Amino acid sequence: MIRLLFIGDVVGRSGRTAVLEQVPLLRARWALDFVVVNGENAAGGFGLTEAIFQEFLDVGVDAVTLGNHAFDQREALVFIERRPRLIRPVNFPPGTPGRGAVVIENSNRVRLLIVNVMGRIFMDALDDPFAAVRRELGLYPLGAACDASIVDFHAEASSEKWAFGHFVDGKASVMVGTHTHTPSADHRILAGGTGFITDVGMTGDYDSVIGMDKEEPVRRFTSRISSGRFEPALGPATLCAVAAEIGPDGLTKAIAPVRIGGLLSPAEPSFWN
C-alpha cells in the first residue's frame, strides 16, 4: 500500500507555518510515502520563492504543484528549470519554463507520477486540459512507468472538476481539485478506482476571504474601489489535505479529508490510526 498526503493551496506565512510544523509530525505518525503540496499562494499569497520551496523540501515535502499564480514571483521562471520537484500546469503554452508532469521515486523505490493542470472555465484561456493529461497519462502508464499517480486539477468550476475526475477514472490513482480554497465534502472513490475530491481547500487562515485579510476584498466588492493590496490573513491556519491509500494495482482503496488547526472542524483518516 502507498500512503499519499496532498496538502491544498498554502496561503502566506500562516499556511507555511502549518506546513512546516505539521508535515514532519504527520510523515512520522502516518508513515507517509509521499507528501505533495500546492504552493501557488505560499509567498505572500502570490506565487512561490525558491527559499520557501526549499523550506518545504527540508521538512519532508516531496514535490510542490502550482496553478494560475505559478509565476507571480518572477524568480520562479528561472529556478523552476533547476527544480524538477516543482511542477507547473502542464497546459501552459509551449516554451513555458519548467515541467507539468514528473515521476519522483522515494527511498523504497516507489514511483509517483505528479501532474498539475489548469481548468478553463472562469480561468485563463489555456490549451485543453483533458487532451494534455490524456497525453501525460499515456506517456507514464500506471503500473508500468509509475506505481501511483496524482493529478492536481487546478480549476474554478466544480462541473469541470467532476468531468475531469471521470475522464481520468481508472487511469490515475487520485485526482484532487485545487484553487477555490474551500474544502468540499465529496471525497470518494470513483467507479474505476480513482480517488477524487472537488477541492482540497486551502491551508491558511479561514477568518479571511480565501486566505486574504478580509477588509480589502469586502471593500472592493462593496465599493468597486481598491484602497490597498491584498495581504494574507495572519491568524492560525487550518491545514487542509487529502489522505489516500493506494493499492498494488495503483488504484485508491481509501480516501479521507484532513483538517488540522485553525477555525475548521478537525478531520483525520480513520484508516491510518
End-to-end Cα separation, the chain, in angstroms = 15
Task: Verify whether residue 154 is a known catalytic residue.
Answer: no
Determine the Cα–Cα distance for residues 37 and 226; give it in Å rounded to an integer: 31
Q: What is the CA radius of gyration of the chain?
A: 17
- Classify each residue of 12-44 as buried b or exposed e, where b means 16 or more C-beta atoms within 10 Å of its C-beta: bbbbbbbbbebbeebbeebebbbbbbbbbbbbb
**Cα separations in angstroms, 259 against 120, 145, 240, 245:** 28, 32, 5, 17
Nearest approach, Cβ of 155 to Fe ion (angstroms)?
9
Of the pair 72, 215, the CB lying nearest Fe ion is at 72
Q: Which three cell numbers stand for residue 99?
A: 515541467
Of the pair 99, 179, the CB lying nearest Fe ion is at 179
Nearest approach, Cβ of 161 to Fe ion (angstroms)?
13
Interacting residues with Fe ion (CB under 5 A): 9, 40-41, 67-68, 179
Nearest approach, Cβ of 139 to Fe ion (angstroms)?
25
Of 69, 154, 181, 187, the active-site residue reads 69
Of the pair 81, 122, the CB lying nearest Fe ion is at 122
Nearest approach, Cβ of 2 to Fe ion (angstroms)?
26
Of the pair 9, 213, the CB lying nearest Fe ion is at 9
Determine the Cα–Cα distance for residues 85 and 88; give it in Å rounded to an integer: 10
Q: Which three cell numbers stand for residue 4?
A: 499519499
Determine the Cα–Cα distance for residues 184 and 110; give it in Å rounded to an integer: 29
Of the pair 198, 252, the CB lying nearest Fe ion is at 198
- The angle formed by the CA atoms of residues 165, 23 and 151, to the nearest 5 degrees, is 15
So which residues are the catalytic ones? 69
